[in-house]
Chain A
Amino acid sequence: MNPIRWLEIIGTFALEAFEELGRFFVLLFQAAYWLFRPPWDVREWFRQMVRVGWDSIPVIFLTCLFTGMVLALQTYQGFQRFHAEGFVGSVVALSLTRELAPVLTGLMAAGRVGSAMAAELGTMRVTEQIDALYTMATPPVQYLVVPRVLASILMLPLLTLIGDGIGIVGGWMVAAGLFHANTFTYWEKTFQYLEINDITSGLIKAAFFGMILAGTGCAKGYFTTGGAEGVGRSTTAAVVTGSLYILLSDFFLTKVLF
C-alpha cells in the first residue's frame, strides 16, 4: 500500500481518537459547570443512584464473590508448595481492596450502566428529545449528564466496598470450606496486613472509574448520529472505550496512589 495512504489512515485514526477524548472532557467540564448551578434535580440524582448503585449490587456481589473464591483457590494451592497457606487471607484481601474489586466493579458497571447510558441518551438524541430539552430552557447536560456522572462517582466506591467485603468472605469460604484452613488464622492474617490506605485508595480509584464510565457512556450517547444503527454503535463503543479507559487509567492511578 502507498505510504501516503498509511499516513492518511494513521492521521485519521489519531484525529478521531483526539476528537473523542476532547468530547469526553468537554462533556465532563460542562457537567462540572452545571453541577453547581440551580435548579438541582435531586429526585433525578437519587433515581440515577438507585440505577447505578442498588441495581448493580447483584452483579457486583456475584463477580466479587467468585473472584475472592478463585483467588483463594489459586493462592492456597500455590502457597501450599512453600507452606505459606496462612497468608492466603492477606493476599485475597490486598488483591481485592487494592486492585480487583475497584477494577472489576468498574468493568462490570461499564458493561451494565455505561452501555445503558449510551443507549438511553443516544435514543434521546436521534428522536430529538435532547433538542426538546434544550428548547424547554433545560440544559441537557445539567438534566441528563450531571445526575449520571454524579451517581457513578458516588456509587462505584460503595459498590467496591461491598465487593471488598464479599470477595474476602468468598476467599474465607474456599479456604475454610474446601481446604479446612483455620478460620481464626485466616481472619487474623487478613486484618494483620490490611491497612486503611489499601481500602481508601481502592475507593478513590473506583470513584475515578465511575467518572470515566459515566463520562464515556454519556459522551457516546450524547453525540450519537445515524439513527438506530448509530445508537447500537454508541452502546458498543461505550462499553469498549469505557473498559479500555478504566484499564489504562488504572495503571496511572495505582502509580500515583500507592
Chain B
Amino acid sequence: MGAENTMPVTSGAAEEIRVESLLKIFDARHVLDELCFSVAAGESLVVVGASGEGKTVLLKHLIGLMSPDAGRVLIQGIDLKTASPSESIEIRKKCGMSFQEGALFDSMTVFENIAFPIRRHTRRKTREIAERVSQCLSLVRLEGIEDRRPAELSGGMRRRVGFARAIALEPEILFFDEPTTGLDPVNTAAIGRVIDHLRRELGVTVITITHDMMLAFRIADRIAMLRQGKFLIDTDPENFRRSDLPWVRAFLEGKLPEGEEDAL
C-alpha cells in the first residue's frame, strides 16, 4: 500500500506553509513520522484521516501550539520554533484558528469574544469594531446574538462563533479543526460557503482537518490522508475520489478495508 502523490507539492503561487520532516513521538509512537508537505498561498488543503491518526496534532504544530521533536514548520518562511516572540506574534496575527469546540472565552459575551483580537491588534473605533463583529456573525448566520454568553449557546453555535472570531482579523491563513462536526446540514453548508468565499474572494490559505468528505470536496484544492504519521495520499479532489488505495476507498465508502478489521 504505497503513498500516492499526484499533485505537485506547491503550485506556482508563493509558498505560504512549508513542513519539513516533521516528527512527533508520543510514548514511542510516531504520530507524525517525518512528514513533508507545503501549501501555496491561496490554496486550500484538507487533511482527512481516521480518529487518533494525529490530525489535530498536525494542526497544533502548524499554528505553533506544539513543538516538533524534529523537523520544522515554516510559515511565510519563518520557522515557528526559532522565531523571536515578536516574530511569532506577527505571524500569528496573520493566522486564524477555529477550534473543534469553539474555545470561546466563557467570561465574555459573544461580542467581546469576536472583538477581542480586533481590540488587541488594531486601533479601530468602537463603531468599526461593532460593524466588523456583526459582519463576522452574519457570515456564520448568527445575527443578533452579540450579548449572549457562550454558556447560553448550543455546541454548533459556539463552533460558529469561534469561526467568526477566527476570521475577525481578516487573516491570510486559516486553520479549521473539524469545522462541521456536530452541525446540521444547513449550517454545514453555510460553513462550507464561508470557507469557499474566503478562499476564492479573499485568497486566504486554508488548512482544514475534517472527517466530512462533502465539505472536503467542496472546499479543497488538495485532499491529503494522514495515516501512520505520513500522508498516504496528497492529491486533488478528483484524483482522491478515484483513488484505489484501500484506506481511501474505506474512508469514502464508510467501511473498513479488507484485512484491516483489527487495525482500528
Contacts and interface: CB of A to CB of B under 8 A. Distances in A.
Given A128-B99, A129-B105, A135 B63 contact: yes
Nearest to A124: B105
Interface in B116-174: 116-117, 120-121, 162, 165, 169
Interface in A106-139: 123-124, 127-129, 131-132, 134-139
A39 interface: yes
B220 interface: no
Contact of B65 (A37, A134, A138): A134
B107 to A, nearest CB: 8
Contacts of B106: 123, 127, 129
B243 to A, nearest CB: 32
Nearest to B63: A135
Interface string B89-115: 110110111011101111000000000
Contact of A131 (B103, B116, B165, B169): B103
B66 to A, nearest CB: 10
The contact size tier of chain B is: 20 to 34
A196 B123 CA distance: 47
A117 to B, nearest CB: 13
Interface in B73-90: 85, 89-90
B103 A132 contact: yes
Nearest to B162: A132
B64 interface: yes
Contacts of B162: 132
Contacts of A135: 63, 65, 92, 95-97, 175
A128 B106 CA distance: 11
A134 B93 CA distance: 10
The contact size tier of chain A is: 10 to 19
Contacts of B165: 132, 136
A138 B97 contact: no
A134 B88 CA distance: 10
Contacts of B99: 128, 131-132
B95 A138 contact: no
Given A131-B65, A131-B99, A136 B117 contact: yes
B103 A137 contact: no
Contacts, number: 55
B170 to A, nearest CB: 13
B104 A129 contact: yes
Given A39-B120, A131-B65, A134-B64, A139 B89 contact: yes
Interface in B170-184: 175
Contacts of A134: 63-65, 92
Contacts of A39: 120
A129 B103 CA distance: 5
Given A127-B103, A131-B65, A131-B103, A137 B89 contact: yes
Nearest to A143: B120
Interface string B39-63: 0000000000000000000001001
A136 B92 contact: yes
A250 B61 CA distance: 43
A135 B117 CA distance: 10
Given A135-B65, A137-B120, A139-B85, A127 B95 contact: no
B101 A137 contact: no
Given A136-B116, A137-B117, A137-B121, A128 B101 contact: yes
Contacts of B175: 135
Nearest to B108: A129
Which of B60, B103, B165, B169 gathers the greatest number of chain A CB atoms within 10 Å? B103
Nearest to B88: A137
A135 B92 CA distance: 6
A138 B92 CA distance: 9
Contacts of A127: 101, 103, 106
A97 B95 CA distance: 52
B85 A132 contact: no
Nearest to A41: B120
A37 B85 CA distance: 11
Interface string A61-78: 000000000000000000
Contacts of A138: 116-117, 120
A161 B211 CA distance: 60
A50 to B, nearest CB: 14
A138 B103 CA distance: 14
A134 B95 CA distance: 11
6 contacts: A127-B103, A128-B101, A135-B95, A135-B175, A139-B85, A139-B89
Interface of B: 60, 63-65, 85, 89-90, 92-93, 95-97, 99-101, 103-106, 116-117, 120-121, 162, 165, 169, 175
Instruction: List the 5 closest A-B pairs by CB distance, nearest first.
Output: A137-B92, A128-B103, A132-B103, A135-B97, A137-B93
